[in-house]
Copies of this chain bind each other. A is one copy, B any other.
Amino acid sequence: MVARSVQVEREAERAIDQDLRPYLAIPSVAAQRRGIAEATAFVERLLRELGADVQVFSDHGNPLVYGRIEGLRPETLMFYDHYDVQPEEPLDLWTSPPFELTERDGLLIARGVADNKGDFIARVAAVRALEAAGELPVSVAFLVEGEEEIGSPSIEAEVRGHLGEIRADYCIWEAGGVDRDGRPDLTGGVKGILYVDLEVRTADRDLHSSLAPVAENPAWRLLEALTAIRPAAGSVAVPGFHATVEPMPPAALEAIAALEAESETVLASLEGVRRRPGTRPVHDLYTQPTCTICGLSAGYSGMGPKTVLPAEAGAKLDFRLVPGQDPRAIYAELRRFLDAQGFTDVETRMTVGELPYLSDPGHPFVETVRRSVRETYGKPPVYQPLTAGSGPMHAVAGQLGIPCVSMGCGYDGARAHSPNENIRKADFLLGAQAVADVISSLG
C-alpha cells in the first residue's frame, strides 16, 4: 500500500505538466462551440495511450468518448467526466490567463481545472500508476462527454443508442472533493429537473392601460396559470406530481438524517438569505420536490410609472424532482392540466428534462467506495444520497442500471464557473490516490 501510494503520487505529480497543462490549454467552451474537436482528440489520444479500446459516439451532439481498459477481471468500473468547460468571461477578474495552468501558493489555477478536467487527469494518473505496477484488478472505462456545461442535451440519446457497446458495472461520477474539515464528500444521486418556459400573448403591441376593462391582460393570465399550477407553497396541483414520489429507501433517509448534524456546512450557501418558514432545511433540501419561478417578465420594469397593458408575459419554471418523478410525464400532465383548467392560451415549452437518480446507499459498491475513501483520507466521508442539484446521472448510470457515486479533487474555494477557478495541488494528488484505492478495493 505504501509503495503504491508513492507511485500514484509520482504519476499524478508528473501528469500535472504532461497531461493537465495541455488539456487545460484547450478552450473547450461548449456554449461557444470552441475547441470541441481538439478536446475530443486529446481525450481519445490519452485513453489510447493508457491502452484503452476507444469509441467515439456522435450521433446526437458533441462527441462522447468511451474507452475501456481490460483489467484482471472483466467487471468494469466506469468514470464519468466531461471535456467541456464554462465560458471564461468576465476576463478582467482573472489574475492569470484562464487557459494557462498557473501554479501559485499550492493552487492549480485555470478554467476547467475544478470542473472537471482535474478529476479526469487524476483518474488517468491513478490508472496509469496501477498499470505500471501491474495491479489493475478490475477493468476500467472512461465516458467523457462534451456538453455537460450546456445541460448535457445529447447524452441520454447517445448512451441509449450505444447500450450494447458501453460496458460498466459501477460508475464514479465527476465533482466532489473535501469539505473545510478535510473530509471527503461522496454523492450517490441527483435530483431530476423539468424546466418549462410559459408565455401568454394577447396583442401584437403594448396597449394604453386605460383599455384594461376590455383588453385581456397576459400578465394576469400568466399569474392565474402559475397559481393554478402551484396553489400554495410546497404544493403542485399538476396531477401525479406528488403521487408519483417514491418513498426514499431507509438507508437514504438514514444518510440524510446524518447530514442534519452537518447543517452548517450543507446550508452554508444560505447566509443572508430568507428561509422558507416551516421547513426542515437539510431534510427538505434532499427530499422535497420544488416548483421555482426562475424568471418573470411582462411590460415595463424601469423607473417610475408607465401606464401600459403588456402584449405578452413570460415565466420560467424549474421543477426539481425526486425519485419516482419523471420530467416528461410531468410536462405532459402539466400541459393537460393547463388545457383542462382553461389555460389553452398559455403556451408552454419544455427546455430541460432530466430524471432523478438515486444509488442504493447500501449497495456493496457504494459501501466499498465509502470504506476506501475513509482509509485514503483518514476521515469518514460525508455521504449525500443525492444532491439538491441535477445532472445527467440517470442518462448514464440509470440507463446502464448501475450504482454511481461522485467523488473528486475539489474544495469549497474552487470557484467552479467563476474567474480564478482552481483546485489545491494536494487535493489533486490525494484525489488520484483515492481513485487508485477505490480501484484496488474492487479487486
Contacts and interface: CB of A to CB of B under 8 A. Distances in A.
Given A214-B281, A273-B207, A293 B223 contact: yes
Nearest to A206: B294
B285 A295 contact: no
Contacts of A90: none
A320 interface: yes
22 contacts: A195-B307, A209-B290, A209-B292, A209-B318, A210-B320, A211-B269, A212-B292, A212-B320, A213-B276, A213-B288, A215-B276, A216-B273, A216-B274, A220-B233, A293-B313, A294-B310, A295-B299, A296-B301, A297-B297, A305-B318, A305-B352, A306-B316
List the 4 closest pairs (A to B, CB-CB), nearest first.
A219-B293, A297-B301, A212-B290, A210-B388
Given A227-B223, A389-B208, A214 B293 contact: no
A433 interface: no
A191 interface: yes
Nearest to A195: B305
Contacts of A305: 151, 195, 197, 294, 316, 318, 351-352
A104 interface: no
Contacts of A351: 304-305
A191 B203 contact: no
Nearest to A351: B305
Contacts of A285: 211, 213-214
A76 interface: no
A180 interface: no
Contacts of A300: 294-295, 316
Interface residues of A, number: 72
Nearest to A308: B294
Residue among A208, A270, A281, A316 with most chain B CB within 10 A: A316
A316 B299 contact: yes
A100 B188 CA distance: 74
A295 to B, nearest CB: 4
Interface of A: 151, 191, 193, 195, 197, 202-204, 207-217, 219-220, 222-223, 226-227, 230, 233, 267, 269-270, 272-276, 279, 281, 284-285, 287-288, 290-301, 304-310, 313-314, 316, 318, 320, 345, 351-352, 387-390
B318 A220 contact: no
Contacts of A281: 213-214
Given A276-B213, A390-B210, A313 B299 contact: no
B296 A219 contact: yes
B308 A274 contact: no
A214 B272 contact: no
Given A191-B210, A220-B230, A295-B310, 13 more contacts: A197-B305, A210-B320, A211-B269, A213-B281, A214-B270, A215-B276, A217-B293, A220-B233, A294-B306, A295-B298, A295-B308, A297-B297, A305-B352
